[in-house]
Amino acid sequence: MGRIFEVRKATMFARYDRMAKQFTRIGKEIAIAVKAGGPDPHTNAALRRCMQNAKSVNMPKDRVEAAIKRAQGKEMENFDEILYEGYGPHGVAVLVETATDNHVRTVANVKSHFNKGGGTLGNSGSVAFQFNKMGVFKLNPAGLNAEDLELELIDAGLEELGESTDENGKDILVARVAFNDFGNMQKALEERNITPISAEVEWIPSTTVPVTDEQAEEVSKLIERLEQDDDVQKVFHNMQ
């Protein structure tokens, strides 16, 4: 077991209310999960995952319950999840996950962000091949024997278990599985009474692009523009 370094930018929502943006993102994820699998977290694994992630960003319980209730209403918008692909400055590949109720608005905004940020919006398949779609589970290491856990989770599809730190500098364990094994890993952790800090689907780059500090700043500005868009859920890149 080694140390896992996460390449997704940690500057999300730096210029305005970061918490509000996170709550909006998770609220959309809850709506999608409830529409697909119902409002009972005991029978809806996707909803359980959303509720875990809500807790990880300190989203109040009453807001989570309100989001579940709204998702059951007939007036609730239907959100479609769309992945946009493109290149930022200096050849850095960028993937943009969105949840939208208006495709025309979203594609126009994403294209504008790329153009103004010195990048180019590409076609479907132009960038995604440089990434692996994976389930990423962040765990509290307290009370866990990482070496034993690594052996126990291999049958659930574990590909990598490593040490990392969260955005506050606290130690965490990060478990990664192929996207198709997400449910198997979620079940395996539940069977061991391990509640993840968060459980997300992320795009992990197979290779990274080296950049200078000045170049990294240019790319980061584009990422920030994208992350601040209301329709954007997450942004991934292969900047080293």
Among 55-59, 75-79, 99-103, 182-186, the minimum mean pLDDT is found in 75-79
Under DSSP, is residue 158 helix (H, G, I), strand (E, B) or coil?
strand
Mean pLDDT of 34-56: 94
Under DSSP, is residue 59 helix (H, G, I), strand (E, B) or coil?
coil
- Helix and strand totals (H; E) in the chain: 7, 8
Instruction: Tell me the CATH class for 18-71.
Output: mainly alpha
> How far is C-alpha 222 from the chain's CA centre?
18
Mean pLDDT of 129-134: 96
Q: Where are the domains positioned within the chain?
A: 18-71, 80-129+206-237, 131-205
Instruction: Measure the CA–CA gap between 185 and 158, rounded to whole angstroms.
Output: 7
Indicate the pLDDT class of residue 121, thresholds 50, 70 and 90: very high
Indicate the pLDDT class of residue 21, thresholds 50, 70 and 90: confident
Q: What is the pLDDT of residues 134-176, one digit of tens each?
A: 999 999 999 999 999 999 999 999 999 999 988 778 899 999 9
Q: Please, which residues bridge with residue 85 across strands?
A: 95
Pick the CATH number of 131-205 from 3.30.360.10, 3.30.70.980, 3.40.630.30, 3.30.160.100: 3.30.70.980
Q: Which residue has the tokens 């968060």?
A: 198
Sheet holding 131-139, edge to edge: 158-165, 171-178, 131-139, 198-205
Cα dihedral across residues 222, 94, 201, 81: positive or negative: positive
